[in-house]
Structure 1
Amino acid sequence: MSKSFDMELFLAGVLTGSHATRQRHLRQAKLIQTEIAKRWQRETPWAWQRKHVAWFLEHRMSQRSEAARYYYLLTIRLLARRLETSWIFNL
């Protein structure tokens, strides 16, 4: 029996800002995790590659407003900081 991945615990070390900002990042990170898990069967951020996150930005965020894409990009930067990777994305 395996436990589900705890995104809040994963991001705890890099989350800063107000309560609302932290909750937004957690909500967005969980959505990113869900979408990548559905498409690529990669349950945890440790298993993600840059192409998985790029797919999310290109295909799942393409119809969103520029402001929404920007906020998701900020969340992805937090994920990259936590993973200690150097993912760079341009919107």
Structure 2
Amino acid sequence: MTKPFDMTLFLSGVLTGSKATQQRHLRQAQIMQAAIQQRWERDNPWTWQLKHVRWFLTQHLEDHSKHSLYYYGLTVRLICLRLGKTIIWRPHL
């Protein structure tokens, strides 16, 4: 049996800011991870593609406010930073 992917450990090197901000990013990353796992069966960010993140931001969060989308976008930027990938952040990804 394999261990579940630890998002806290994954993001620990790139998290900055207040404790509340760090907790928000971790919570949002875990929500993203769960949604992408359920829909695409991809259990960690190392296996995600742009289409998975785009689906999450556009389809999964379609009933959320623009503010929520913005904050999830910041979390996506942290995940990309941790992966060493560059992504041009546009709110309408």
1:87 equivalent in alignment to 2:87 = yes
> Would you say 1:73 and 2:73 are equivalent positions?
yes
Asked whether the 8 Å contact 1:54–1:89 carries over to 2, the reply is no
Distance 1:25 1:57 in 2: 15
Q: In structure 2, what is the Cα distance between the partners aligned to 1:54 and 1:62?
A: 11
Give the aligned residue type for 2:60: R
* Corresponding position of 1:11: 11
What 5-or-longer segments of structure 1 have no aligned partner? none
Paired AA for residue 85 in structure 1: K
Aligned twin of 1:29: 29
Alignment pair present for 1:51 and 2:51 = yes
Q: Distance in 1 between matches of 2:34 and 2:88?
A: 21
TM-score, with length taken from structure 2: 0.94
Residue of structure 2 equivalent to 1:60: 60
Contact kept, 8 Å, 1:36 with 1:52, in 2: the verdict is: yes
Q: CA deviation at 1:89?
A: 3.7
Task: Find runs of 4+ consecutive structure 1 residues off by over 6 angstroms.
Answer: none
Q: Let me know the Cα RMSD of the aligned residues.
A: 0.8
Q: Deviations over 1:25-75 (max 9, x none)?
A: 000000000000011000010000111000100101121111111000000
Q: Which amino acid aligns with 2:57?
A: L
What is the number of residues matched between the two proteins? Answer: 91
Q: Which runs of 5 or more residues in structure 2 are unaligned?
A: none
